[in-house]
Amino acid sequence: MKAVVFDQYKTTPTLKDVEKPTPGPGEVLLKVAGAGACHSDVAVFRDFDESFGPAQLKPSFVLGHENSGWAEALGEGVEGITVGDAFLVYGPMGCGHCRACSRGQDTYCENAATMPHLAAGLGRDGGMAEYVSVPARNLVPLGDADPVAAAPLSDAGLTPYHAIKKSLPVLAGGGTFALVIGLGGLGQIAVQILTALTGATVIATDTKQDAMERAAANGAVTVPGGEGQSDAIRELTGGKGVDAVFDFVGATPTIALAMGVVALRGRVTVVGIANGTFEWNFYAVPYEVELTSTYWGTIEELHEVVDLYRAGQVTPDVTVYSLDDALEAYRALEAGELSGRAVVAPHGATGV
């Protein structure tokens, strides 16, 4: 079968023929419906090397950690899965038996350091291919929902959902404000999730006009990046600042912006992985502000994201590529040409 393979550090992945996987005990072989192209993939093949990056992410393996597909074959011991049904794949793959994993919180696996991989597509062969084999416990049913458009929800939906859910206490009640910095794939979905889950006024900011127009269409008040950005955001809040900020860039300037507009007792969540830094000063930050990072989410939360998707409250903005054009999807992602999510559909947009 064809697959997009990360086979060398600091090098664009290659599209090549590899062996079709066979599901092991407890696994399900999926005919891939969609695989999202993510900035984390770019970090793997462009930024990491032998001395930098998680030890589990050494070449070579098939990329693709945002996956959906149809059950094609069942491994030994798998029950309750019907061949032909559509599923979303919960990405994180922990040990399966520690306290965190027993709660469906594989992102916090207590044995992660000794695991051979982090997820399908992150150390283990992923879904940027015609087929992928995954543990049955990682499957979330999609019912009759479109699995191609759903693929990004396993990361680009789950990650902002988890971050927003953790911030709900500061967004409770009336008169609250949320700020989304960076309106790529995750940021656009974050606007929709905030609108669905809270009564907060959602402010969205980016340097791209088309990205802000898409956010505005989903209910956000937009502020362009550049001079006067911070003042404009504060003015929208009546001067009090933003209760919850979600930085989907994570660069030093965007973290500084977030910390400059957050309200007293507010919360700043850095979601983006641009590796920015912030120099904290007791007198320069509003009292009792929380600054935190976030990582993916739980399988329970992915079920909740799918519920929002099936209810029409969250709709990923996707551009569909064929598997033959997967490297073009990564090129467009690296070049910053996408405001939604690139999804590779190995069997076509309809799965035929």
Q: Domain limits of the chain?
A: 2-155+297-344, 158-293
Instruction: Please tell me the distance from the alpha carbon of residue 155 to that of residue 243, in angstroms, as a whole number.
Output: 24
Q: Is 48 helix (H, G, I), strand (E, B) or coil?
A: coil
Residue 352 is predicted with a pLDDT of 39
pTM of the predicted model as reported, rounded to 2 decimal places = 0.95
Task: Give domain 158-293's CATH architecture.
Answer: 3-Layer(aba) Sandwich (3.40)
DSSP code for 345 = -
Buried b vs exposed e over 311-336: b needs ≥16 C-beta within 10 Å? eeebebbbebbebeebbebbebbbee
Instruction: Please tell me the distance from the alpha carbon of residue 131 to that of residue 206, in angstroms, as a whole number.
Output: 36
Q: Is 9 helix (H, G, I), strand (E, B) or coil?
A: coil
Amino acid at 242: V
Contact 296, 100 (CB under 8 A): no
Contact 38, 155 (CB under 8 A): yes
**253-309 residue pLDDT tens:** 999 999 999 999 999 999 998 999 999 999 989 999 999 999 999 999 999 999 999
Q: Which residue has the tokens 């919960």?
A: 90
Instruction: Please tell me the distance from the alpha carbon of residue 171 to that of residue 165, in angstroms, as a whole number.
Output: 10
**160-208 residue pLDDT tens:** 999 999 999 999 999 999 999 999 999 999 999 999 999 999 999 999 9
- Kindly report the average pLDDT of the chain as a whole number: 95
Residue 338 is predicted with a pLDDT of 85
Q: Give, in words, the CATH class of 2-155+297-344.
A: alpha beta
Residue 5 Cα distances to 24, 63, 175, 334, 337, angstroms:
21, 6, 48, 17, 23
Helix axes 158-167, 185-197, angle to 10 degrees: 40
Six-digit token string for 159: 């990650």
CA 21 to chain centroid, in Å, comes to 25
Q: What are phi and psi of 244, to 5 degrees?
A: -140, 125
Residue 257 is predicted with a pLDDT of 98
